Structures are given as structure tokens and as C-alpha cells.
Structure 1
Amino acid sequence: MKGMASLRLTDRLLKISHLVTKDKKIADIGTDHGYIPVYLLKKGYVSYAVLSDVNKGPLDNARKEVIQNNLLDKVDLRLGSGIEVLKKGEVDEIIIAGMGGILISEILDAKQEVSHNAQKLILQPMQAQNELRKYLLNNGYEILDEVLVKEDFRLYEIIIAKYTGENTVVEDEVYYEVGSKLIENKDVLLKEFVDRKISSYTSILKNIEGKTGYEIEKKKKCITKSIEKLKCILGN
């Protein structure tokens, strides 16, 4: 369906919205302009959404978008921090996108009765993605799936998780950096994603080339090992 809101969705936001399950109650935490819930409500894909933000400005922007699309009766706009605005079980799926991985971990941790009872968590960290994976797998969450999406020149990682109460043992730290689901699924962007990581590590090595000292040598060994592991993922 074409509509005002659908035209505004970037590839990243569109990919996130496609990961929501039909007919579920959703919450969009840190909603900004509310583009994802407005898009899903306008399509009739979901019938109810909580839009929340810690700042009044973005929430006011979301309110304008909701009013413009005649959806005020299908949403609840809430000003507050993270998932603390939610009650246990009042929504089925929670979207937390466009924040740092550590902040997302802190948000999930701040009200566990909500995060532990969600049927699905759709998480899109902007940085510290490895820290978020580490938090999830060591705090009873299962990573159900992962997808990559390219927008302009940037690759974004989206993690779908659910609390099970069981920790997951990771064979190697490299799987905090490159999610095992991306490898299992042979994500179409996996090669480019890993190549970029190898390129980034190679640049760091070049920058410390010629420098000496115990810490420098230790860093060189560590980076070289990381590059080897990443090459193994691609079968190089």
C-alpha cells in the first residue's frame, strides 16, 4: 500500500518493519518520528502500537505523524525512558532501533519483567553490536535471527531475540562480532560485511606498523588473529 508514511521509510526502517509479526501489539522504543509504527498501522499489518521516546521533541514529531495519518485511536504515545514505559505483557513485540548496543542492553536490563516476557525483540544497534550480542547470549536471551541491510554506504545489523532463561555458549569471540545466524543464513551482504571488518583491522595494523613495545606487539597479534578468524568465516 502506498501512503504518506511508506514513502518516508528508509531501507533500514523498512527492513525492521518487515520483521514485525502480523497482528501483534508492538512498542517502538525511541520512536523518533514514529515512522515504523505509522507505516505498519497504515498498512493494517498491526492494530495497536505504543510509541515512546525519552525526549519530548521526537515524541511531538511522532504525534504529528500519527495525527496526519488519522491513527490517534490506534496508538499510545508515552514520554519516558526505554521499556520502563511498558507494563508486563501489554505488547507482544518490542522494537529498539537506532541506539548504541550498550544502551540497548541497559534498556533491556532496566525492566526485566517486560523484556523477559516479550514474544520478540527487534534490535538494531548503531554501534557496539558485539557488546549487545554478548549481553543477550550471557543473560538468557536466544538470538532467533539476524539480518543485514544496506542503506547508502552503511551496513546495519538487526538482531531478533527472545528471552528463554538459558545462556548460549559461544565457541569463539568472533561470533560476538559476526552473528552466527548471519553465517548460517548465508546473508547476501555477509561477504561485504566481513570484508569491511577485515579492511578496518588491516588499516589499524598499518597505522601501528613500525611501532614497538609490549602493548603494541600484543595488539598486533590480537588484530592479526582477528583477521585470520574473519577470513575463515568467508572460507578464505
Structure 2
Amino acid sequence: MKLTNRLLKIASLVSENKRVADIGTDHGYIPVYLLNKGIIDFAILADVNKGPLENARSEVRINKLEDKVDLRLGSGIEVLKKGEVDEVIIAGMGGILISELLEANKEVAHSLDKLILQPMQAQEELRKYLLNNGYEILNECLEKEDFRLYEIMEVRYTGKNTVVEDDIYYEVGKKLIENKDQLLEEFIDNKIKKYNNIIEKLGDKDSEAIISKRNLANEKIAKLKKLV
């Protein structure tokens, strides 16, 4: 079993000797990898669908790890009880769905040492939810796979909201800038291209709505250019 770059990066963020839950585990590749490497010695593998959970069960069986895992069918972190695990991985879902899963079981979400989150879209909305609902973003990194850049966040609940001085930091995480992530320039360039495409599609019409959208896109581009 060989992990993709994205999954390897996520696995590398898991702390040693911690009890881990992988939510939306699919084939269970990350926890199986971590168990085989001896990085952790117990994992809960959970999925809302029976098919993926059976895939994970098969992977666990092949690797003879039955005594080190617990497989659970259910939605998000609602399958967990407070104190069962130290860290939770939620990867490969939309940012809004991730925020809904955290909201659905605050008792568990707030008690964890760390959450490792990898949203596939709506990353901006997820950052906004986290920072306005008492979570601290401990770290962020980017990983490239098949020409796509993935955003990965390490977060923890502190109960303190974070004031963001500009909305651009919901779109580009401050930790990416502070860490001078090696993929940051490409990441920002991609966002600038996206806004330039929006401007191009708007054309030269001058209705109030079009002007507002064009001005917003130009404002975003100017802010993005200042980040690198």
C-alpha cells in the first residue's frame, strides 16, 4: 500500500503515540499506514457509508491489524465519545460539511488535542467557521498532487475567537504566509488567475452588479499580490 502525496502529508501531521480517529476513512489507508509504521497503536475508522467501511475492514484484515482498530458506521464525529481519541482526521470532504460535523458534536470536537482537516472546497468558509467559533489554527500547509494544490489545517479548540484584520486571510491562511510555504506563490498565482478569469467573463458591461463584481475581483487581486 503506497499513500498518495496528499495522504502522506496528512499522515505526517499525526502525533506519535496518540489515539486517532479517521472520519470518512474510505479504505482506511492513513490509519493502516500509521499503525504499520508504529506511529500510533490504536485507531477508530469511521464512515457514514457501509461500502467504504467494508473496504477499510478488508484493508485492516490484510494488514492483520484487527486488534488495533475499531470500525464504526455513522456520521462524522458523532460516532465518538469524549476521551476516546486524542486526535481526529477529517479529510476529503467539503469545508462546509466539515464545519457541520464539528458543530454536530461539540463535546468531542472541543476536547481533542488536535484536528487535522483537509477540505476539498469551501476552504474560506471553513477558516471563517473555525476562527469565529473558538478554534485556533495551529498550522497550515499545502500539498500538490495531480496538478492540484490541497490545503491542510491543524486546529484545536481554545474557546477564543480570532480577529482577522482582513477577509483575504480567510482565503489564504496566515500560517501559510508565516511559514513561507514552498507552494504559496503557486497557490496565490492560481487564485489571481481565477479572479482574472472572472473579470474576463464579466466583459465590458457596465451595469451596477457587473461593476461591483469587477471591483471586488480587482480588489482581491491587489490584496493577493501583496501577500507574496
TM superposition score category, shorter chain reference: over 0.9
SS in 1 for 2:89: strand
Indicate the residue corresponding to 1:136 in structure 2. 130
Give the corresponding residue for 2:153.
Answer: 159
Secondary structure (helix, strand or coil) at the match of 1:78 reads: strand
Q: How well do the aligned residues superpose, as a CA RMSD in angstroms?
A: 0.5
CA distance in structure 2 between the partners assigned to 1:175 and 1:209 by the alignment: 28
Q: Does structure 1 residue 89 correspond to structure 2 residue 83?
A: yes
**Residues 79-121 of structure 1: CA distance to partner in whole angstroms, max 9, x if unpaired?**
0000000000110000000000000000000000000000000
Matched, 1:213 2:207: yes
- Identical aligned pairs, as a percentage? 67
Instruction: Report the equivalent of 1:38.
Output: 32
CA distance, structure 2, for counterparts of residue 148 and residue 87 of structure 1: 31
What TM-score results when the alignment is normalised by the length of structure 1? Answer: 0.96
1:46-85 to structure 2, matched below 5 A, reads: 46-85=40-79
Instruction: State whether structure 2 residue 185 is matched by structure 1 residue 185.
Output: no
Q: Unaligned stretches of 5+ in structure 1?
A: none
Q: Which amino acid aligns with 1:21?
A: S
Q: 1:112 corresponds to which residue?
A: 106
CA distance in 2, matches of 1:202, 1:160: 31
Aligned residue identity for 1:11 = N
**2: CA distance between counterparts of 1:138 and 1:62?**
34
1:12 aligns with 2:10: no
Give the C-alpha shift of residue 210 in structure 1: 1.5
Rounded Cα–Cα distance in structure 1 between residues aligned with 2:158 and 2:206: 47
Query: Equivalent residue for 2:97?
Result: 103
The one-letter amino acid paired with 2:172 is V
Looking at structure 2, the residues matched to 104 and 47 of structure 1 have their Cα atoms a distance apart, in angstroms, of: 26
Q: What is the TM-score when the length of structure 2 is the normalising length? A: 0.99
1:172 aligns with 2:171: no
User: Counterpart in 1 of 2:189?
Assistant: 195
Specify every segment of 5 or more residues in structure 2 that has no aligned partner in the other structure, as ranges.
Answer: none
Q: Structure 2 CA distance, aligned partners of 1:44 and 1:76?
A: 17
